[in-house]
Amino acid sequence: MAEIEREAMEYDVVIVGAGPAGLSAAIRLKQLDADLNVVVLEKGSEVGAHILSGAVLDPCGLDALIPDWKEKGAPLNVPVHEDNFYMLGEAGKIRIPNFPMPPLMNNHGNYIVSMGNVCRWMAEQAEELGVEIFPGMACSELVYGENGEVKGVVAGVFGLEPDGSYGPGTEPGMELHGKYVFLSEGVRGSLSKEVIAKYDLSAGKEPQKYGVGMKEIWEIDPAKHKEGSVTHTMGWPLGSNAGGGSFIYHLENNQVYVGFVVHLNYKNPHLYPYMEFQRFKHHPMVAELLKGGKRVAYGARAITEGGYQSMPKLVAPGVALLGCSAGMVNVPRIKGNHNAMLSGKAAAEAAYDAIKAGRSGDELTAYEVDVRDGAIGSDLKKVRNVKPLWSKYGLTASLVLGGMDMWTNTLGFSLLGTLGHGKNDAESTEEASKHQPIDYPKPDGTLSFDRLTNVSFAMTNHEESQPCHLKLADPEIPVKVNLPKFDEPAQRYCPAGVYEMVENDGEPQFVINFQNCVHCKTCDIKDPSQNITWTTPQGGDGPNYPNM
């Protein structure tokens, strides 16, 4: 194929992804020097369209970035005033009192927010400072310089032919070059994955770990609504089948975020994370809350869980990994937005110093040092053993051991050192024959919903004539390997019903309904054969979340 001719635009810093990490970096760069040329590229149709968090926001990142955020009208309107934690059985619950919890678990001073709206507001702040933000622009390729450094990205390729070739209607996109490129793509970023592999940034680190988070917004009976209330649960329905738990956050306007996270290191390939979530809503405590209400939105996204010991090296020549592109979630707190913001600020400060010193295309070592030795490292280090303990000893023992370890870490030491995670999530999947199928009750259409109906509430959309963005390294593996060995778990782990096994002339056939994809990246993580690669579809495609 002839070399594609593209226009190139030059910037000081090119930022991929308008989440809290990328937008914080953009804002900080312009605060430091209004003359810097900074561009942010976002694949969602608008800023916020692909943002999905719980979210209880620890405002420490925003405090550091925009200390007068309150006066500037940031949408942090609902302070947390009630924190509940329950262990669920099928019909009952036990409240875990707050006093034995380490102080870091306390939500006092945090806010229940729509992170989509927070990002929309941050984008306005960035634009006022002169940042160029282009939504609907997916960054599909990295551009490398002569010395092997990352020097830019390709963005805005539209209208590829179904086989991926260039046709008469194809727009080739453009190259955006920067002295530095920041990858703030969030969990399992596709360009970040390439950079981590190319520069071997995970060498000597533990494997990254993940969960899949699913979330609905409900409008509930005002009599049951308690603005500012935060509830977390563990236990039923997952039991010992998988790690995970739920969150229920009461925000404004009689709305409630109801969400469920399943750790992706589960062994039983029959497990169906989406159905676990639906079943959870039938617990009497949850059913009573939601009765008479209506679900107004649905979405899903993977979440990084590896923490401190899984964070790759953050820099390579010309490029830095920010926020959840590097995995900065504090797992027991289920919080990563504050660290995403702090990482954006730190990367911006390192790039500003480098550019002022006349540097470009090298490693921003100062950023790496800031993250590991500063507030982010300290936040993640204290909780580093919670996830490995949970994976190894199950829920009850890990609550006790993990709680004790968080307490001692708060005092500055750990008796356990730093525990490893062992296998990655794909490798954790065991053969179907070793496990019992799980019988899930049918959704009732009132509290629980079938997957495709719920996906319509993510308002996801993909131009059908483009190539499928979910690439199989070997198209035969789903039927020849995954089906006989693992009962092809893609049928169940995908929270959007993208993957199906159907019968064609009596033969099993693997079907990919890529139009349904909500960009959660679970397939890229959990496929036991590591045969699926999530690549970015054309800009503007994907979910259109209102206020997730």
Ligand X SMILES: Cc1cc2nc3c(=O)[nH]c(=O)nc-3n(C[C@H](O)[C@H](O)[C@H](O)COP(=O)(O)OP(=O)(O)OC[C@H]3O[C@@H](n4cnc5c(N)ncnc54)[C@H](O)[C@@H]3O)c2cc1C
Residues of the shown chain interacting with ligand X in the complex, contacts defined by CB under 6 A? 16-22, 41-44, 50-57, 138-139, 184-186, 189-191, 213, 215, 259, 261, 301, 303, 323-325, 329, 334-338, 340, 536
Q: Which is nearer to ligand X, 22 or 235 (CB)?
A: 22
Kindly state the smallest distance separating residue 434's Cβ from ligand X, in Å.
29
Q: Which is nearer to ligand X, 116 or 478 (CB)?
A: 116
CA 367/CA 377 separation, integer angstroms: 12
Kindly state the smallest distance separating residue 519's Cβ from ligand X, in Å.
7
Kindly state the smallest distance separating residue 259's Cβ from ligand X, in Å.
5
Residue 197: HSE in the Cβ half-sphere, 13 Å Cα cutoff = 7
- In 3-state terms, what secondary structure has residue 430? coil
Measuring CA to CA, which residue among 431, 488, 439 is closest to residue 275? Answer: 439
Q: Which is nearer to ligand X, 114 or 325 (CB)?
A: 325
Kindly state the smallest distance separating residue 257's Cβ from ligand X, in Å.
9
Kindly state the smallest distance separating residue 188's Cβ from ligand X, in Å.
9
DSSP state of 312: P
Q: Which is nearer to ligand X, 75 or 213 (CB)?
A: 213
Kindly state the smallest distance separating residue 391's Cβ from ligand X, in Å.
19
- CB burial of residue 408 (10 Å; 0-12, 13-18, 19+): middle
Measuring CA to CA, which residue among 496, 499, 505 is closest to residue 487? Answer: 499
Q: Which is nearer to ligand X, 181 or 432 (CB)?
A: 181
Q: Are 52 and 213 in contact (CB under 8 A)?
A: yes
Kindly state the smallest distance separating residue 493's Cβ from ligand X, in Å.
15
Task: Give per-residue burial for 338-363: e unless 16+ CB within 10 Å, then b.
Answer: bbbbbbbbbbbbbbbebbeeeebbeb
Q: Which is nearer to ligand X, 54 or 497 (CB)?
A: 54
- The contacts of residue 17 (CB under 8 Å, 6+ apart) are 40, 41, 42, 43, 183, 184, 185, 186, 189, 325
CA 170/CA 157 separation, integer angstroms: 7
CA 429/CA 486 separation, integer angstroms: 8
Q: Which is nearer to ligand X, 115 or 432 (CB)?
A: 115
Q: Which is nearer to ligand X, 293 or 542 (CB)?
A: 542
Q: Which is nearer to ligand X, 16 or 38 (CB)?
A: 16
Kindly state the smallest distance separating residue 503's Cβ from ligand X, in Å.
34
CA 346/CA 365 separation, integer angstroms: 11
CA 542/CA 406 separation, integer angstroms: 38
Kindly state the smallest distance separating residue 47's Cβ from ligand X, in Å.
7
CA 541/CA 527 separation, integer angstroms: 23
Pull the structure tokens for residue 253: 């306007």
- Helix spans in 165-272 (H): 190-198
Kindly state the smallest distance separating residue 114's Cβ from ligand X, in Å.
11
CA 207/CA 205 separation, integer angstroms: 6
| 362 sits in which H/E element | none
Cis peptide before 55 (omega within 30 of 0): yes
CA 257/CA 52 separation, integer angstroms: 11
Q: Which is nearer to ligand X, 152 or 478 (CB)?
A: 152
Kindly state the smallest distance separating residue 204's Cβ from ligand X, in Å.
23
Measuring CA to CA, which residue among 213, 266, 258, 220 is closest to residue 239? Answer: 266
Q: Which is nearer to ligand X, 478 or 542 (CB)?
A: 542
Kindly state the smallest distance separating residue 461's Cβ from ligand X, in Å.
14
Sheet with 78-79: strands ordered across: 56-57, 111-112, 78-79
Nearest 5°: CA angle at 244, between 242 and 249? 155
Q: Which is nearer to ligand X, 337 or 547 (CB)?
A: 337
